[in-house]
Amino acid sequence: MLQTTGVSVRFGKRVLYEDVNIKFNKGCCYGIIGANGTGKSTFLKVLSGELEPSKGEVSKEKQERISVLNQNHFAFEEYTVIDTVIMGNKELYSIKEEKDKIYAKPDFNEEDGMRAAKLEERFAELDGWNAESDAESLLNDLGISPEKHYKLMSDLEAKDKVKVLLAQALFGNPDILLLDEPTNDLDLKTISWLEEFLINFENTVIVVSHDRYFLNKVCTHICDVDFGEIKVYPGNYDFWYESSQLIQKQMREQNKKKEEKIKELQDFIARFSANASKSKQATSRKKSLEKIQLDEIKPSARKYPYIDFKPDRLPGNEILEIKNISKTINGEKILDNVSFKVKDKDNNEIAVLAENENAITVLFKILSGELEPDEGEIKWGTTITTSYFPKDNNYLFSGTESITDWLRQYSKDPDETYVRSFLGRMLFSGEEALKSVNVLSGGEKVRCVLSKIMLSGANFLILDEPTNHLDMESITALNEGMKKFQGNMIFTSHDHQLTQTVANRIIDIKEDGNVIDREITYNEYLGIE
């Protein structure tokens, strides 16, 4: 069992949280949520011992082992994949190394033999003889093929390194598992495997994630970081979200009733306090007025941008037809004879999947006009106007102008007051709107591009991973904006919940060029009930 007692974390005058007292129980999975900057990842570092709290302590049973998902993808470049995984159990790996050194000594003596015997005993207690086979099994489950198991980490692709580090964290059945954004850069198949692994994991899991579907699948509790404190709630993310919204609504309604009562009392006092016959009653009501206190609704640290895509005109009957599109890049055939049609007036929300994710990006670039197909034809309806969200948007922010000036070039109304008002709704208020675009964070750039799309008034949206770099609040707002959109859209996203709640049609581009096209939801396509 992991426990915090009176834990406080401060950086100078800034207080992240005060007096945190939480017991993390075996068999439970705790999802840590909160706005950007509230200290979610910092809390994991405190729990792991990497960071000392300003006050209080973190305790666990002496024999319990904590395992942490390493965020440095280049930390093990000189090691083999197998060794990197086994390093997840530091004690086991250090014993293995020491054993090997002793047995390799040319002048092996009695003292070495006694030391080796002790090491062998502890090695067996840690199930060391099965370490390699257990590591191999984990790697296979995560999609790392056997021929890569004894390669150096430096020889692996980035996507495989992520999986190896995940295997390292999971290796050896740790007592406490700390995971910071474990689904980042994972494919759908691997995420599904991880969900099942954590659901069946019998020890303690504490995870930070922006993936709402993932949190809903694996979490038994939610730790909400807000108001300078951390509170634990039973249930998954949806249960927490719906409950918190309900509580806020009830508090507002309660305050409204109190405000009405105060107004009634104030009116009575004003009318009758000068009337001798009513003076006692007025005095009584004045005392009642003084007792009524409005419950303070704390201004949550969470900030939700306002995302609402409104087309300037509705589309006609002819929307889009793609005929036999092919594209080869650097000798690799990315798209091979791809065809599909988008028809009717509206309500086509198409999610695109692909075994080769680059195929989606290339298709979207062709649709947006950034690339030309080698073969085939694209025919847009005469009423269709498009707007494109690129997966890599850095090229849009190469200048040094302010956010206000950057967005003004895309606005039909160039008035600065209008543009700044619009940016305020997208969380760029005050001086934030004057920041230079070349110093923006990934999440800020995404909000800028979404602002550009909203101002376009397009009736057909092309969105390539629009949730990348966004916090959970912005993802929620984007999700709602996409659901409300009255035009047509084609998009791809690793956010399972967004795809499930928005898409009514799935297009899956296979590597052999075949296209599966079905008017069903995402879960229906995956066979998830």
* Contact status, residue 371 vs residue 513, Cβ threshold 8 Å: no
Residue with more model confidence, 51 or 291 = 51
The pLDDT value recorded for residue 70 is 94
The angle formed by the CA atoms of residues 408, 411 and 415, to the nearest 5 degrees, is: 60
State both tokens at 58. Answer: 């973190």
What is the percent of the chain with per-residue pLDDT over 70, rounded to a whole number? 95
How far apart are the two ends of the chain, measured CA to CA in Å? Answer: 34
* Contact status, residue 455 vs residue 475, Cβ threshold 8 Å: no
Q: Is the pLDDT of residue 298 over 60?
A: no
Which residues make Cβ contacts (< 8 Å) with residue 326, sequence separation at least 6?
333, 335, 336, 337, 338, 373, 374, 375, 376
Residue 424: alpha-carbon gap to chain centroid: 23
Whole-angstrom distance, CA of residue 179 vs CA of residue 166:
9
Phi, psi of 169 (to 5 degrees): -65, -40
State both tokens at 419. Answer: 């543009």
pLDDT, mean of residues 53-78: 94
pLDDT, mean of residues 230-249: 85
The pLDDT value recorded for residue 183 is 92
The pLDDT value recorded for residue 248 is 75
The pLDDT value recorded for residue 285 is 67
Q: Is the pLDDT of residue 54 over 90?
A: yes
The pLDDT value recorded for residue 276 is 56
Whole-angstrom distance, CA of residue 492 vs CA of residue 483:
14
427: three-class secondary structure by DSSP: coil
Kindly state the DSSP code that residue 126 receives in the 8-state scheme: T
pLDDT tens digits along 242-288: 887 777 788 778 888 888 887 887 887 777 666 655 566 667 767 77
Among 9, 187, 170, residue whose Cα is nearest residue 86: 170
476: three-class secondary structure by DSSP: helix
Whole-angstrom distance, CA of residue 464 vs CA of residue 388:
8
Whole-angstrom distance, CA of residue 233 vs CA of residue 34:
13
Q: Is the pLDDT of residue 345 over 80?
A: no
Identify each DSSP E strand in 330-417 by its residue range.
332-343, 349-354, 375-380, 386-389
In whole angstroms, how far apart are CA 46 and each of 1, 28, 37, 49, 59? 15, 19, 15, 5, 11
The pLDDT value recorded for residue 36 is 77
pLDDT, mean of residues 312-320: 89
pLDDT, mean of residues 85-97: 93
Burial class from Cβ neighbours inside 10 Å (0-12, 13-18, 19+) for residue 425 reads middle
- Region of poorest pLDDT, from 25-34, 336-345, 383-392, 401-410: 336-345
* Contact status, residue 466 vs residue 491, Cβ threshold 8 Å: yes
pLDDT tens digits along 154-180: 999 988 999 999 999 999 999 999 999
State both tokens at 343. Answer: 């028809």
Residue with more model confidence, 130 or 37 = 130
* Contact status, residue 437 vs residue 448, Cβ threshold 8 Å: yes
Taking the model in full, what pTM does it have?
0.81
Burial class from Cβ neighbours inside 10 Å (0-12, 13-18, 19+) for residue 120 reads middle
Among 441, 490, 499, 440, residue whose Cα is nearest residue 467: 499
Whole-angstrom distance, CA of residue 503 vs CA of residue 389:
17
- Region of poorest pLDDT, from 147-151, 263-267, 385-389: 263-267
State both tokens at 131. Answer: 């370490």
Find the radius of gyration of the CA atoms of the chain.
29
The pLDDT value recorded for residue 292 is 67
Among 499, 503, 506, 521, residue whose Cα is nearest residue 212: 499
The pLDDT value recorded for residue 294 is 59
Arithmetic mean of pLDDT over the chain: 90
409: three-class secondary structure by DSSP: coil
> Any bridge partners for residue 233, and if so which?
222
pLDDT, mean of residues 475-490: 95
- Region of poorest pLDDT, from 141-145, 195-199, 511-515: 511-515
Q: Which residue matches tokens 């390799």?
A: 104
State both tokens at 119. Answer: 């090491």
Which residues make Cβ contacts (< 8 Å) with residue 268, sequence separation at least 6?
281, 282, 285
* Contact status, residue 419 vs residue 464, Cβ threshold 8 Å: no
Whole-angstrom distance, CA of residue 451 vs CA of residue 264:
44
The pLDDT-based confidence of 188 (bands split at 50, 70, 90) is confident
* Contact status, residue 89 vs residue 126, Cβ threshold 8 Å: yes
Q: Is the pLDDT of residue 135 over 90?
A: yes
The pLDDT-based confidence of 13 (bands split at 50, 70, 90) is confident
Among 362, 389, 355, 364, residue whose Cα is nearest residue 187: 355
